[in-house]
Amino acid sequence: MRAAGPAGATSDLDHPEAYRLTWRDRARQRGLTPTLWLVAPGVVFMIVFFVYPLCYGVGLSLQGTGGWFSAYRDFFANRLVNDHGSRESILITLELALAASIVNVALAVPVAYRMRGTVRAKRTIMAVVLVPMTLGTVFVASAMKEFLGPSGWLNRALLHTGVVDQPLQLVGNFTGVLLSLVFTGLPFAFLLMVGYTSGIDPSLVQAAAVCGARPAQRFWLVTFPLLLPGMTITFCLSFVLAFGVFPSATLVGNDAGPTRVLSKIAYTEYSYGRYPTASAAAVVMAVVQLAVLGLVLWGRGLLHRGPTTGGKG
Amino acid sequence: MTGVAAPPAEETAPTLPGPGRRPLRHTLTGAVTWGGLWVFVGGLLLAVATVLLTSLTTQFTDGWLPRGYTTRWYAQSWATFDLGHLLATTVGVGVAVVAVTLAVALPTAYVLARLTFPGRRLLLLLILVPQVVPVMTYAVPLATLVYRLRLNDTLAGIVLVNLVPAIPFAVLVLVPFVEQIDPRIEQAARVCGATNRRVFVHVLGPLLVPGLLAAGVLTLVRVVGQFELTFLVSGPDSQTLVVALYGAAVQAGELASQEINAMAVVYMLTTLVLLLAALRLVDPTAVAARDRRSRR
């Protein structure tokens, strides 16, 4: 055994102290091997450039000009630069992100459910659906602004066919931003849901069919409960994506009015050099987002968490 | 069955969802699903077509299509926004971030996939938290930090901030790839006298090429599209394409919309090239499925 160290020659075997473990061996027994040094670069980087800024930000938010919590007081009392209501923006951001992620999951589940097996042109559909994800929020938002605008093609078509008399107001308000967020977020939700739906054993559905369940029953009584945990995860990740985004809110929406989102407020404060209030807005954002995620994941704990594969064949 | 005169088509032919190609059935839910998908795809294509057409327009009319077409806006946009410089910055930042990310993420992913040790959960937390905290929450103090390091408006600063979300993301992508490699292959190499370094370079490296490619391409796509972080740190000399596009779109009144859309088309082509590369190297469903398996 190398564990005895360099002194552990054959002649020392009679002496019990030769077997005494050094701190090195004890560490090794608990799993602390020298290979662990491999994580050092990653861990050091993440601590210096993620954990430290995070703590620094929280500290900064407490150093407002008027005492400990003055930055937060300013935030909740709507006393910020160019302020159009920072307190209300919490609700606005929440509504936008919740609506977008609910729509995303609701649209992604049926399509993903139908894509679970081998479907014609699956790869093409996947590729087309992936396009908006790669284009990113800025491009989609600027494209939507023209497409949904009063003289865009959508309104033109609606006017032409006589569906509406007046152009629909889709830009500069909640609807436009929501549409833009759905276009960027849906591909991601879809991709995740395809992973979940194809993870469900088809023999479970077959068994239900043999027992006489109709397609709707098969879906609602068998597949849907098994999909719920995956749906909550998809919901959470869609929510994260929609909650922090501000290009769509500024470009398609109206950041001085009905779609002033928290991240835009944080940015405006930052660009005016008011770091404490900017950090306060950013911290409020994090707290709200983590509260929603915590709530959803707590709800997920109450759901079925069994295997998605059948038992014996 | 009760005496239903005309049962729905799906009940008369009780086909089981068996393996292989399923028969096409015309159901209401199916129609709604595929209809929704086509509305989505159609909206997307029309929106992209709007951008493309606007960038080629000589003069706007009230009709559906522009009156004349020209490519001169591309030349003008290239000059106004210095698109060559923007593209060079974007590519440079992307390549640098991918290189550093892979170099740092691979060892971390290896340890996470292979070893159990005290503090493993803490390390996992360090990698998962950046995925759920809003970008702005750490972007604001990080930008302040970069500013104090005098790295704002430099390529190094942009690379630095982009590394923060990229490294944990790449670790998450790489862990399942490392898990797929049989540890006995490594053990065999060690028995034959290979050192740690040789195991990595000659055994694990070649086996991990698909994983590294997947992580690299996905990181590149994310860096090119990364807006918030780059936006906070970049200055006039160090913008990436997305940031410049946002800047142009915000002050839309002052610039010709054809010019902005020409830049948008250049950006779109850049990302589409990346997407094609990604699709050649990565099966998106496989990534989603693997991602899920590792998270359990």
Domain boundaries, chain A: 1-29, 70-301
Q: How far apart are CA B102 and CA B276, in angstroms?
A: 21
Half-sphere exposure of A73 toward its Cβ, with a 13 Å CA cutoff? 9
Q: Is A302 exposed, middle or buried (0-12, 13-18, 19+ CB in 10 A)?
A: exposed
Q: How far apart are CA A112 and CA A97, in angstroms?
A: 21
Residues 6+ apart with CB under 8 A from B197: none
- Tell which B residues from 56 to 85 touch A, by Cβ distance under 8 Å: 62, 64
CATH 3.50.50.60 at B81-295, yes or no = no
Q: Does B227 sit within 8 Å of A136, measured CB to CB? A: yes
pLDDT of residue A99: 94
Query: Reduced to 3 states, what is the DSSP secondary structure of residue B4?
Result: coil
Number of CB pairs < 8 Å for A and B? Answer: 281
Tens of pLDDT, residue by residue, chain A (313 residues): 444 444 444 444 556 566 677 877 887 777 777 788 888 999 999 999 999 999 998 888 888 777 778 888 888 877 777 767 778 888 889 999 999 999 999 988 888 887 776 666 677 777 777 788 788 888 888 888 888 887 778 888 888 887 778 877 888 788 888 988 888 888 888 888 888 887 788 888 888 889 988 888 888 888 888 888 889 989 998 998 888 878 888 888 877 777 888 888 888 888 888 888 888 889 999 999 999 999 998 888 777 666 666 554 4
Q: Which of B228, B224, B216, B220 is nearest to B267 (CA)?
A: B224
Among A110-114, B45-49, B170-174, the minimum mean pLDDT is found in: A110-114
Name the more confident of B251 and A109.
A109
Q: Does A285 sit within 8 Å of B138, measured CB to CB? A: no
pLDDT at B294 over 70: no
Residue with tokens 């239903």: B4
Q: How far apart are CA B222 and CA A294, in angstroms?
A: 26
Name the more confident of B163 and B296.
B163
Answer for the pair B94, A15: CB distance below 8 angstroms, yes or no.
Answer: no
Q: Which of A83, A75, A96 is nearest to A249 (CA)?
A: A96
Residues 6+ apart with CB under 8 A from B148: none
Q: How far apart are CA B8 and CA A49, in angstroms?
A: 61
Q: Which residue of A has its CA nearest to B52?
A: A143
In tens, the pLDDT along B96-135 reads 999 999 999 999 999 998 888 888 899 999 999 988 888 8
> How much is the average pLDDT of B137-144?
89
Q: Would you call B54 an interface residue with chain A, using a CB distance cutoff of 8 Å?
A: yes
Question: Which of A32, A63, A119, A134 to mutate against chain B (most B CBs within 10 Å)?
Answer: A134
Q: Would you call B247 an interface residue with chain A, using a CB distance cutoff of 8 Å?
A: no
Q: Phi/psi at B27 (nearest 5 deg)?
A: -115, 165
Residue with tokens 């929280």: A58
pLDDT at B204 over 80: yes
pLDDT at B167 over 90: yes
Q: How far apart are CA A202 and CA B94, in angstroms?
A: 41
Residues 6+ apart with CB under 8 A from B91: none
Whole-model pTM: value is 0.80
Q: Which of A253, A114, A176, A145 is nearest to B37 (CA)?
A: A114
Q: Would you call B269 an interface residue with chain A, using a CB distance cutoff of 8 Å?
A: no
- Tell which B residues from 154 to 213 touch A, by Cβ distance under 8 Å: 160-161, 163-164, 167-168, 171, 196
Residue with tokens 């950090």: A279
DSSP 8-state class, residue A22: P
Give the bridge partners for B57, in sequence order. Answer: B69
Q: Does A42 sit within 8 Å of B105, measured CB to CB? A: yes
Q: Is B119 exposed, middle or buried (0-12, 13-18, 19+ CB in 10 A)?
A: middle
Among B11-20, B122-131, B237-246, the minimum mean pLDDT is found in: B11-20
pLDDT of residue A291: 93
Half-sphere exposure of B248 toward its Cβ, with a 13 Å CA cutoff? 28
> How much is the average pLDDT of B217-230?
87
> How much is the average pLDDT of B58-87?
78
Dihedral, A139, A143, A144, A145 alpha carbons, nearest 10: 110
Inter-axis angle of helices B284-295 and A174-197, nearest 10: 80
Q: Which residue of B has its CA nearest to A216?
A: B29
Name the more confident of B29 and B95.
B95
Residue with tokens 């292959």: B185
Q: Does A49 sit within 8 Å of B163, measured CB to CB? A: yes
Q: Phi/psi at B125 (nearest 5 deg)?
A: -60, -45
| DSSP secondary structure of A115-176 | TSSB-TTHHHHHHHHHHHHHHHHHHHHHHHHHHSSTTSHHHHHHHHTTS-SS----SSSHHH
Between 1.10.3720.10, 3.40.50.720, 1.10.10.1150, 1.10.150.20, what CATH number should domain A70-301 receive? Answer: 1.10.3720.10
> How big is chain A by its Cα radius of gyration, in Å?
27
DSSP 8-state class, residue B181: S
Q: How far apart are CA B210 and CA B219, in angstroms?
A: 14
Which chain A residues are closer than 8 Å to B29 by Cβ? 110, 216
Extents of the domains making up chain B: 29-70, 81-295
Percent of chain B with pLDDT over 70: 84
Q: Does A283 sit within 8 Å of B107, measured CB to CB? A: no
pLDDT of residue B97: 95
pLDDT of residue A3: 45
Question: Which of B137, B149, B294 to mutate against chain A (most A CBs within 10 Å)?
Answer: B137
Name the more confident of B29 and B182.
B182
Q: How is residue A260 written in tokens?
A: 């002033």
Annotate B29-73 with three-state secondary structure: HHHHHHHHHHHHHHHHHHHHHHHHHHHCECCCCCCCCCCCECCHH
Q: Does A153 sit within 8 Å of B225, measured CB to CB? A: no
Q: Phi/psi at B121 (nearest 5 deg)?
A: -65, -35
pLDDT of residue B103: 92
Q: Would you call B38 an interface residue with chain A, using a CB distance cutoff of 8 Å?
A: no
Residues 6+ apart with CB under 8 A from A73: A64, A66, A79
Q: How is residue B150 written in tokens?
A: 């005098």
The amino acid sitting at A288 is V
Q: How far apart are CA A24 and CA A2, in angstroms?
A: 12
Which chain B residues are closer than 8 Å to A279 by Cβ? 140-141
Interface ipTM above 0.85: no
Dihedral, A97, A103, A105, A110 alpha carbons, nearest 10: -170
Query: Which among B32, B36, B50 has CB closest to A147?
Result: B50
Q: Does B134 sit within 8 Å of A33, measured CB to CB? A: no
Q: Does A57 sit within 8 Å of B137, measured CB to CB? A: yes
Among A290-299, B57-66, B78-87, B176-185, the minimum mean pLDDT is found in: B57-66
pLDDT of residue B39: 85
